[in-house]
Homo-oligomer: A and B are copies of this chain.
Amino acid sequence: MHVFDVLGDPVRRRILELLSVEDMPSGAIVNVVSLEFGISQPGVSQHLKVLRENGFANVTIDGARRVYALHTSGLEEVDMWLAPFRNFWTPKFEALATEVARGKRKRR
């Protein structure tokens, strides 16, 4: 699953926002998200799996708890894809053409 597909889901975006505040065990995430979105524990658990498997979260085991923490590699990948486009609305950047060209080369 591509990083942008991972972020395409509102539940997953919400979980990332929660994890940006503090690490949380699965149960605490379920409490918030199942209330806000009306989905079940397995539903949330499946989203956590997607986040895990795509570099957006990692887990540490604490007894019966799984404590989730934000992992940035997925987000960084999004950010990198976005970088060459940022020139278009951030006038600070001087070398527009150069930057775009760099992004193109990298894609190969």
- Each complex incorporates copies of this chain amounting to 2
> Chain B contacts of A107 at CB under 8 A?
17
Q: Dominant SS at the A interface?
A: helix
Query: What is the distance, in angstroms, from A81's C-beta to the closest C-beta of chain B?
Result: 7
Please tell me which stretch of A26-34, A42-50, A59-67, A87-95 contacts chain B, meaning at least 4 of its Cβ atoms lie within 8 angstroms of it: A87-95
Contact of A82 among B2, B21, B70, B78 (CB under 8 A): B78
> Chain B contacts of A7 at CB under 8 A?
4
**Could you list 12 A-B pairs, sorted by A, with CB under 8 Å?**
A2-B8, A4-B4, A4-B13, A5-B8, A16-B85, A20-B84, A20-B103, A72-B88, A75-B88, A75-B89, A79-B82, A92-B101
